[in-house]
């Protein structure tokens, strides 16, 4: 649930409770006061009648006088049963309105001119009821307006106050550690948000520092590894010159040599991957994919021939992209190398170019690795344990670097790699 919805609901709930509760309390207390007022008026009225009995022509015994909203009635009774003020609510017929209306009636039994009578004074409740209704309506209206204002103000303040917060979130969302871009958080008048920004900035500084250290460490270690490797390689070369080596010794040397080459290749690949990660290929020039492929195919010529591979080229487009020519060359070299070395004897390779699209298809054994893992580092087929498993990881990395998409798909022992350039 969004914070805005949550706070709005919260405020609305509280407002409803307060308004509803307040409305009830107000209604009843208002009613009480009105009733009390009517009673007081009735009693005053009664006292006037008793103390200053109405003159015959105004009101007499057994007469009814309509003097809206007050209504007098004096009826003779046999005995005085209850000489106290009795209040009750009643409905009396209203001649003017032509229907029954609510009245509050005060009855009192007393002797008037020596005769026992019951004096009833009734006061219409119509006015007070209307007043209550009116007031209740006004309160309801005010409540509604208040609620609308709460929602509107909440929305307004939310966007005003939290806007900076969302800007901070956007900055973090777009944040990429390998980007050299400096990040700046929006200044806010709210202390808590500035605190948040401050914490993020400190965190960013720390991550940047760690990343930089790690990067330098990887670069240094990779370069430092090349030196001992160079020593091993040169020592092995010298050792090979020994005339007295027997077979088991040459086997050992062979094994050392192979491992040295693997380690060296591994190291080179890792340096390359880390360089791409570190955005160390900022150069961009027009690179022709087809020219690049042809250059590599020239160098592969005798290898393709010796494996008796049939090569089909179907160039419908040159495909020129803006990129570092070195990286594109490495990418295409790896792809072509795969299509040749993972092929079958007397196999096929098809290279198709269309607008912004390169397709390389080759015959080959079925994959014994997961299709999903194909582009991951160190994924290699059990058929080729000496392979580094970095070729396609490098290809993928270069594709990502230039925002190209790469897809693999296999059908009938035909492996297809499709790259879509942007």
Partner 1 sequence: MKILIVEDEIELSESIVSYLKSEGYLCEYALTYDSAIDKISLYAYDIILVDLNLPDGNGIQIIRKLKESDFKGGIIITSARETLDDRISGLNSGADDYLIKPFHLAELNARIKSLTRRVLFKGGNTITLNEIKIKPDAHEVYIKGKLMDLTRKEFDLLLFLVTNKDRVLSKESIAEHLWGDYIDSADSFDFVYAHIKNLRKKLTNKGVGKYLQTVYGVGYKFIEN
Residues that bind partner 1 (CB under 8 A): 223, 226-227, 229-238, 240-241, 245, 247, 250-251, 253-254, 257-258, 260-262, 264-265, 268, 271, 275, 280, 283, 296, 299-300, 302-303, 306, 325-326, 333, 337, 340-341, 384, 386-387
For the four alpha carbons of 208, 210, 211 and 216, in that order, the dihedral sign comes to positive
Q: Min. distance of Cβ 208 from partner 1 in angstroms?
A: 24
Query: Residue 385 is encoded by which pair of tokens?
Result: 């344990």
Q: Min. distance of Cβ 350 from partner 1 in angstroms?
A: 20
Helix axes 191-240, 126-173, angle to 10 degrees: 20
Q: Which is nearer to partner 1, 111 or 326 (CB)?
A: 326
Q: Min. distance of Cβ 297 from partner 1 in angstroms?
A: 10
User: How many Å apart are CA 33 and CA 37, to the nearest integer?
Assistant: 6
Q: Min. distance of Cβ 309 from partner 1 in angstroms?
A: 13
Q: Which is nearer to partner 1, 37 or 237 (CB)?
A: 237
Host H or E run for residue 407: strand 405-411
Q: What is the DSSP letter of 145?
A: H
Q: Which is nearer to partner 1, 136 or 263 (CB)?
A: 263
Compute CA distances 28 → 36, 149, 310, whole Å.
12, 27, 98
User: How many Å apart are CA 246 and CA 272, to the nearest integer?
Assistant: 39
User: How many Å apart are CA 406 and CA 47, to the nearest integer?
Assistant: 103
Q: Min. distance of Cβ 235 from partner 1 in angstroms?
A: 6
Q: Which is nearer to partner 1, 327 or 404 (CB)?
A: 327
Q: Which is nearer to partner 1, 147 or 266 (CB)?
A: 266
Q: What is the DSSP letter of 408?
A: E
Q: Which is nearer to partner 1, 184 or 248 (CB)?
A: 248
Q: Min. distance of Cβ 351 from partner 1 in angstroms?
A: 16
Query: Residue 405 is encoded by which pair of tokens?
Result: 């998409």
CA atoms within 13 A on the CB side of 41: 18
User: How many Å apart are CA 75 and CA 62, to the nearest integer?
Assistant: 5
Q: Which is nearer to partner 1, 275 or 377 (CB)?
A: 275
Q: Min. distance of Cβ 209 from partner 1 in angstroms?
A: 25
Residue whose C-alpha is closest to residue 95's, from 75, 116, 67, 119: 67
Q: Min. distance of Cβ 194 from partner 1 in angstroms?
A: 43
Do the strands 310-315 and 348-354 form a parallel or antiparallel pair, or are they unpaired? Answer: parallel
Omega before 69 within 30 of 0, i.e. cis? yes
Q: Which is nearer to partner 1, 143 or 257 (CB)?
A: 257
Query: Residue 127 is encoded by which pair of tokens?
Result: 């006015």
* Contact criterion met (CB below 8 Å) for 374 and 365: no
């Amino acid at each position: 649930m969004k914070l805005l919805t949550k706070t709005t609901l919260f405020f609305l709930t509280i407002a409803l409770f307060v308004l509803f509760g307040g409305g009830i309390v107000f209604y009843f207390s208002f009613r009480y006061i009105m009733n009390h007022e009517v009673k007081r008026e009735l009693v005053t009225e009664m006292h006037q009648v008793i103390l200053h009995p109405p003159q015959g022509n105004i009101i007499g015994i057994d007469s009814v006088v309509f003097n809206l909203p007050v209504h007098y009635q004096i009826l003779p009774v046999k005995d005085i049963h209850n000489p106290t003020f009795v209040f009750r609510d009643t409905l009396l017929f209203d001649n003017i309105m032509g229907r029954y209306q609510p009245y509050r009636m005060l009855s009192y039994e007393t002797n008037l001119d020596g005769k026992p009578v019951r004096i009833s004074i009734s006061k219409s409740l119509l006015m007070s009821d209307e007043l209550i209704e009116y007031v209740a309506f006004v309160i309801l209206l005010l409540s509604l307006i208040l609620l609308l204002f709460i929602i509107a103000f909440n929305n307004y303040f939310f966007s005003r106050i939290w806007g900076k917060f969302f800007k901070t979130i956007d900055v973090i969302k777009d944040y990429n550690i390998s980007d050299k871009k400096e990040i700046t958080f929006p200044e806010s008048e709210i202390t808590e948000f500035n605190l948040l920004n401050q914490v993020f900035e400190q965190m960013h500084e720390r991550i940047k520092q760690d990343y930089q250290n790690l990067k330098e460490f990887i670069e240094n270690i990779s370069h430092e590894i090349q030196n001992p490797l160079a020593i091993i390689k040169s020592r092995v070369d010298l050792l090979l010159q020994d005339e007295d080596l027997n077979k088991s010794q040459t086997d050992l040397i062979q094994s050392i040599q192979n491992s040295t080459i693997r380690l060296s290749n591994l190291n080179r690949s890792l340096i390359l991957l880390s360089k791409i990660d570190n955005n160390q290929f900022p150069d961009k020039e027009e690179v022709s994919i087809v020219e690049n492929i042809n250059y590599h195919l020239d160098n592969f010529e005798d290898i393709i021939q010796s494996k008796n591979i049939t090569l089909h080229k179907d160039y419908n487009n040159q495909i020129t992209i803006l990129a570092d020519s070195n990286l594109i060359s490495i990418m295409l070299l790896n792809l072509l190398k795969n299509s040749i070395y993972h092929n079958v004897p007397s196999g096929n390779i098809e290279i198709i170019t269309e607008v912004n699209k390169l397709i390389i298809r080759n015959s080959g054994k079925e994959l014994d690795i997961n299709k999903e893992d194909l582009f991951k580092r160190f994924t290699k087929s059990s058929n080729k344990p000496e392979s580094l498993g970095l070729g396609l990881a490098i290809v993928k990395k270069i594709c990502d670097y230039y925002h190209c998409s790469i897809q693999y798909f296999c059908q009938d022992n035909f492996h297809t790699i499709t790259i879509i350039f942007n």
